[in-house]
A and B are shown apart, each in its own frame.
Chain A
Amino acid sequence: MSESTIRLVSLYPTLLGTYGDGGNVLALKHRARLHGLEVEVYDVDPGGAVPHDADLYVLGGGEDTAQVAAANALRADGGLSAAANRGAAVLAICAGYQLLGESFPDATGSPAPGVGLLDIWTDRLPQRAVGELATNPNSGTGVDLDLTLTGYENHAGATHLGKDATPLAKVLAGSGTGDGTEGAVSGRVIGTYLHGPCLARNPELADRLLGWISGRQLETITEAAVEDLRRERLATVLDR
């Protein structure tokens, strides 16, 4: 492994892997290869120590019981918080996103404690949000994407942002957090409800994460299959 190899940790894929979000790891490996970057992936499951010194940590969606188990294990371990405080990047999807906050609803609806990495807390939407989600990324978040984000949402969470978190995007179609915004950013920690998987459908975001870590200005590379999918998905919900 060379000095410049990107170290990617897939956090608790057995707990947070219900909605195809393992695809984000595949997308990061794929984009890294296109840009000539090397990636080493470490799967960590509860009981195993979370490395403090990796570059990027990804968390996916999961069921209620698994979500509580994952949050408890991450708090007990402390490695993720240590890494994020050191400046490592984190991408968290859906249940993984919620558990990075102060609290989220457990299977019975009672608040369960989160990891406290993002200044957010989550309660329940009046109605479950299921369907295509398209959002317009906000400027000034530090993520600074140009392209519309596309994905699929399936959650019951209304996520509320505190002063230390900035919404990732404005909702163009779908529900998002329920207040017209979607996702949260704090430094290099990003949370979102976008499944799809998020990074396969939004390679610009994958490249942003890889750019942060590698410190390189990555060139724009598009792939026909991905562009076809983006165009098709966005056309189903946006009038264009």
Chain B
Amino acid sequence: MTKVRTSIAIGAGKMAAAASRVSGRGEGMVVGGKVVLRMAPDAMSDLADGRVAALVSATNGKTSTTRLLATAVAQLGPVLSQPTGANMTAGIVSALAYGPRDGLAVLEVDEAYLPSVVLATNPRVILLGNLSRDQLDRMSEVAMVARKWRTMLAAHPDVIVVANADDPIVSFAAEQAPHVIWVGGGQIWTADSAVCPECGSLLDRTTAQWSCPGCGRARRATTWELEYVGGSGTAIGPDGSTYDLSGLQLPGRFNASNATMALAVCAQLGLELNDALTRMCTVTAVSGRYAVVKVGELTIRLLLAKNPAGWSELVDVMAPPPNPVIVTINSNTADGKDPSWLWDVPFEHIRGRTVIATGDRRADLAVRLLHAEVDCVVIEDPYAPNADLPPGTREQAVVDCAATYTAFHTLRTRADKEAQARS
């Protein structure tokens, strides 16, 4: 039962959110949530009230995995989730306050905020996907995040954890929980789990089964596995049951991994799994990710690329050479203020394409690409009618555009505004 104080706060938050939307400052999720929290600091636990089915946290794939899972959980009835990926305290409060009253909640949570959100919402299942370097000016180092997750899980022995067994840092955090469903979700980016987070020894990765020669930790036996061959995935569940993931509309190995982990959560929530997967296959774009939009003269496919691990999975999804690609790098707070991470991205793999470098930190990108021997043109606004684009760009049906977080959202907003102006 929602307390009176929280109810009044929700009313005030609704007005603030509407004001924010009308003034064009944002979608109102965060503003509304902030107003609620200021008036009712306990609003999150009050609103959660035992109906949080699952929390999803990871460095990469939170929003997509949450959308896949929330879409599947609708099998049980109304589901509330964040429509926009606002995954810190205010966004979560807002989702709980303004979603369907009797709905189950499936929420994504920022890695650093997960402990406080678990404490307030008492979820049934927590999905832990992966941990890698991201926004190093803001986030703790990955081992530090894992240690905080360990402390959190030790304090919540009743929660069921669904964890990626292939990520040694996630595994280190999850092993603390009494009920873990291990999923072989795969991991392409291993540079942030070179050493054991417990004893500091260099992990042995000579086989797919990582192990630590120092303290004996090793990849756990899994209940679920992703098999990904030739661009198409199969999830293998308990007792060898298989789920063909080729119908997923979200592209790439990492989305097949996200779906496998989501299926493992669905099993814990008692869903009928074939139906759950069918529902996941209806998801096309997630908060603009993979959406094809028109901006200025160009039709682009929006790809969110905010850190080296994300990039290392994205290269295979991009149109092959010699198609030019747009890469937009910003360094606002939500992007990480230091774009040094560009030097950890294997840009050498996109040789053969011309990169149109844009965004606030296009100069950093240009220097990075110079060192990767990738052709690059620096253009402040490639969507302007007179932009000096590489030959053939305007003739391309869809140009892939990889963007950091704030650049991605600026492009979405611009595309929406231009679409409205056309209609």
Residues of A within 8 A of B (CB): 14-15, 17-23, 26-27, 30, 45-47, 63-66, 68-69, 107, 130-131, 152, 154, 195-197, 200-201, 223, 225-226, 228-229, 232-233
Assess A69 versus B340: contact at CB under 8 Å? Given A154-B136, A154-B137, A226-B367: no
Stretch of B31-39, B157-165, B341-349, B399-407 lying at the A interface: B341-349
Query: Judging by beta carbons under 8 Å apart, are A225 and B344 in contact?
Result: no
Interface of B: prevailing SS: helix
Pairwise interchain contact A22-B200, C-beta atoms closer than 8 A: no
- How far apart are A231's CB and chain B's nearest CB, in angstroms? 9
Max chain A Cβ within 10 angstroms of own Cβ: one of B133, B136, B201, B378: B136
Q: Are B363 and A17 in contact (CB under 8 A)?
A: no
Query: Once the chains bind, are A30 and B370 in contact (CB under 8 Å)?
Result: yes
Pick the contact of B194 from A64, A66, A232 — CB < 8 Å? Answer: A66
Residue of A nearest to B202 (CB): A46
* B3, CB-defined interface residue at 8 Å: no
With a CB–CB cut-off of 8 A, which chain A residues contact B144? 63
Query: What are 9 A-B pairs with beta-carbon distances under 8 A?
Result: A14-B194, A18-B136, A23-B340, A26-B371, A63-B141, A107-B143, A154-B338, A197-B340, A223-B370
CB distance from A46 to the nearest CB of B (A): 5
Summarize A's interface: helix, strand, loop or mixed. mixed
- B364 at interface (Cβ–Cβ under 8 A)? yes
Q: Given A47-B202, A195-B338, A200–B141 Cβ distance below 8 Å?
A: no
**A45 — which chain B residues lie within 8 A by C-beta?**
202
Please state if B141 and A14 are interface contacts (CB–CB under 8 Å): no
Name the one of B142, B340, B371, B378 contacting A19, with C-beta atoms under 8 angstroms: B340
Residues on the A chain within 8 Å of B200, using CB? 65-66, 68-69
The distance from the CB of A128 to the nearest CB of chain B, in whole angstroms, is 9
Produce 1/0 per residue, B314-348, CB < 8 A to A: 00000000000000000000000110111110000
Interchain nearest-CB distance for B346 vs A (Å)? 10
Q: Is the CB of B141 within 8 A of A20?
A: no
Do A14 and B340 touch (CB < 8 A)? Answer: no
- Point out the residue from B143, B191, B363 that lies within 8 Å of A14, measured CB to CB: B191
B201: chain A residues within 8 A (beta carbon)? 69
B192 interfacial by beta-carbon distance below 8 Å:
yes
